[in-house]
A = this chain, B = another copy of it.
Amino acid sequence: MDLKALETFVWVAHLGGFRTAADRLNATQPAISARIAQLEEELGVRLFDRESRRATLTEKGLNLLGYAERMLALRSEMVQAVAEKGSMRGIIRLGVAESIVHTWLSRLVERLHYLYPAVSLEIEVDTSFVMREELLAHQLDLAFLVGPITEPQLKSVPLCSYELAWVASPSLPLPPEPVPLKDLARWPIITFSRNTRPYGAIQEMFSGGDMPAVRLFGNSSLATVVRMTLDGIGVSAIPPVIISRELTDGRLKVFQAEEPLPRLDFVAAYAKKPDSLMAATIVSLAAEVAATPTAGISL
């Protein structure tokens, strides 16, 4: 009776499939099959109904799930109680909003590697919207994203709050501040991609009936947004903190518009599972790192 098999079982149960669990656990599907088969053989009981599309738990399986989770929780507790700090090991799937990549992520990674050399990260950069889904689907262990998080299945911890500002190249012939919205709309507005807080806020801003049409360039790469803004293609709405260098050397400037932009409140979020010790540990480290300011992108 292997803990690895039990863990696999829990993941298959949660994700509803062998294949998905295999991806999630960095293993191949036959390996997952083998582990579940071992468990079923040892217990002499069928744990999943594989008939339908989604592998569903049998009654016995459901029964086992509770025990398996208690078992894994107990293991976590045990490890926390007796393990040397720094002997924590494993792989954690981390989703990160791009703003974080450009502010303090590398410092966190460094510090993490120093304190917990046996912990591997699998970092995925995506929008908060996508990452929230992935957290709920247990495809991410932990994410740093724009809050607030309201899902009760997720635990969230505030990390940092960044101002969002209008930014343009000094070469752009902007009218005197505060720039009215109709003047702003003369240029494309370059910002985060669709399905993000800033994109939505700006879209809303220009959604009134008498508002000028606006060209909104959603972009999945912040570096590209910065590049395009530097090139004078348009104005952008991004957190100034990630372009501190460009601001100090005058290649970009923040300006006031008629309409203010919302702040971005970043939080760390992870599933409230019994064994999310590693996530919790990383979160507190992240909170610490996020509290100290940093340099941004330099292009």
Dominant secondary structure of chain A at its interface with chain B: helix
Identify the closest chain B residue to A70 (Cβ). Answer: B74
Q: What residues of chain B lie closer than 8 Å to A1, measured between beta carbons?
A: 3, 75, 79
> Does A51 sit within 8 A of B, measured CB to CB?
no
Q: What residues of chain B lie closer than 8 Å to A43, measured between beta carbons?
A: 79, 82-84, 87
> Does A297 sit within 8 A of B, measured CB to CB?
no
**B3 and A89 within 8 A (CB):** no
Bound CA span A130–B67, Å: 38
**B67 and A77 within 8 A (CB):** yes
Q: What residues of chain B lie closer than 8 Å to A82, measured between beta carbons?
A: 43, 45, 60, 63-64, 67
Residues 47-79 of A, flagged 1 when their CB comes within 8 A of B and 0 if not, give 000000000000010011001101100110111
Bound CA span A71–B3, Å: 11
Q: What residues of chain B lie closer than 8 Å to A3, measured between beta carbons?
A: 1-3
> Does A42 sit within 8 A of B, measured CB to CB?
yes
* Interface residues contributed by chain A, number (CB under 8 Å): 26
> Does A81 sit within 8 A of B, measured CB to CB?
yes
Residues A1-53 near B (CB distance < 8 A): 1-3, 42-45
A75 to nearest B CB, angstroms? 6
**B86 and A63 within 8 A (CB):** no
**B78 and A64 within 8 A (CB):** yes
**B2 and A87 within 8 A (CB):** no
Bound CA span A81–B2, Å: 17
Bound CA span A77–B64, Å: 10
Query: Most chain-B CB neighbours within 10 Å: which of A3, A45, A74, A82?
Result: A82
**A68 and B78 within 8 A (CB):** yes
**A83 and B2 within 8 A (CB):** no
Bound CA span A144–B81, Å: 40
* Known contacts A3-B1, A3-B2, A45 near B75 by CB under 8 Å: no
Chain A residues proximal to chain B, CB less than 8 Å: 1-3, 42-45, 60, 63-64, 67-68, 70-71, 74-75, 77-79, 81-84, 86-87, 89
**What are 30 A-B residue pairs whose CB atoms fall within 8 Å in the complex?**
A1-B75, A1-B79, A42-B83, A42-B87, A42-B89, A43-B79, A43-B82, A43-B83, A43-B87, A44-B84, A44-B86, A44-B87, A45-B82, A45-B83, A45-B84, A45-B87, A60-B82, A63-B81, A64-B81, A64-B82, A67-B74, A67-B77, A67-B78, A67-B81, A67-B82, A68-B78, A70-B74, A71-B71, A71-B74, A74-B74
